[in-house]
Structure 1
Amino acid sequence: MYTRPRRGQRVVAPILFVFVALAATVASRCAHAHIVAQPDQGKAGSYFETSLKVPHGCDGSSTVALRVGIPDGVLSIKPQMKPGWTVSIVTRSIDPPLKLEHGMTIDKAVAAVEWRGGPLPDSLYDTFGLVMKLPTTAGKTLYFPVVQTCENGKRDWTDIPVEGQDWHTVHSPAPQVRLVPAQ
């Protein structure tokens, strides 16, 4: 036997649908709102290419600069050149200098890479590539703290989880790359 829905039921169902759809959209945007490294796993001791995906600006404002801190242990890095952007590399001294195979010695490493230019509108995304030689310690996670500067404001993606804390629970997580065994 069919009974016609009451007037209140006909109003609540569409409102509930809109609320659920809106909540799913917001949750999806939040889940993908961080700057992330893609891919985020590389073989320890190998040369590795990744891109930092910048999914949005700062509260509606376009991105005009991205500064990426390079973790200790990454001794060789080459940033991607991007049309409309300038790239600069900041180095740090290594003391004592490291002796590498083939008799090479290095006394400087890259501390940060910075892209300036664009602008990258808030409604669009882009990627900023890095090629690097990964450290040999499998099981370690490397964090690449990022400062995103926009036309109006900035956003720090520099939080590093403490041991045992999940990366997804950190408020403004630094992009990460996990080192996996070379086999």
Structure 2
Amino acid sequence: MSLKYLAALLGAALCLPAAQAHITLEQKSAVAGSSYKAVFRVGHGCDGAATTAITVFLPEGFVGAKPMPKAGWQTEIGKEKLAQPYDSHGTPVTERAAQISWRGGLLRDAEYDEFVISLSLPATPGKRWIRVLQQCEKGQNDWAAIPVEGQPRPRFPAAALDLLPAAEAHVHPH
């Protein structure tokens, strides 16, 4: 094995933890217009400081959002009026959860946790970027940058969700 090849392998191995350290979604794709369980994975704090709050900013078209409670954390739901109300099981819906926060807990830098939201996705396929603000005992990480093809990956990229047309989704025969 050449020294150049070994150095490249070692360099790639050293980059792995940093690449996996972002706040990401467990399921990176879903069917447009379907129900979705968004599991946000938080793998570290802010430059060594423990995480004390997570706020997820839901893109337009994401509706019916409900956070999963977490022991030791309080949830807060920020709502906004809908431009186009919709019907949910015979009840008119005029507002949506635009942001969901978990506060008051403590997630140490060396620990990992997940924050879960159940919601309905927009019917239009395409990539959606979800901003997540991570607040810590010291500082914060604003996971909001949208990567640009051909450019270096941003330090704090937003979580990506690819909404697939129903025809592309795996369908089980009846």
User: TM-score, normalised to structure 1's length?
Assistant: 0.80
How many aligned positions are there? 164
Query: Counterparts of 1:84 and 1:70 in 2: how far apart (Å)?
Result: 23
Task: Within 5 Å, give how 1:22-171 maps onto structure 2.
Answer: 23-95=11-83, 97-100=84-87, 104-138=91-125, 140-162=126-148, 165=149, 169-171=153-155
Which one has the bigger helix percentage? 1
Query: Counterparts of 1:40 and 1:166 in 2: how far apart (Å)?
Result: 21
Q: CA deviation at 1:103?
A: 5.2
Alignment deviations for residues 10-36 of structure 1 (CA, whole Å, 9 cap, x no partner): xxx8xxx7x778634430111111100
Query: Any conservation in 1 of the 2:85–2:95 contact (CA below 8 Å)?
Result: no
Query: Counterparts of 1:161 and 1:63 in 2: how far apart (Å)?
Result: 24
Instruction: Name stretches of at least 5 consecutive residues in structure 1 with no aligned partner.
Output: 1-12
Counterpart secondary structure, 1:145: strand
Instruction: Name stretches of at least 5 consecutive residues in structure 2 with no aligned partner.
Output: 168-174
| Cα root mean square deviation, aligned | 2.4
Partner of 2:172: none
Counterpart secondary structure, 1:100: strand
**Which amino acid in the other structure matches residue 145 of structure 2?**
D
Which one has the bigger strand percentage? 2
Query: Any conservation in 1 of the 2:41–2:113 contact (CA below 8 Å)?
Result: yes
Larger gyration radius, structure 1 or structure 2: 1
Q: CA deviation at 1:60?
A: 0.8
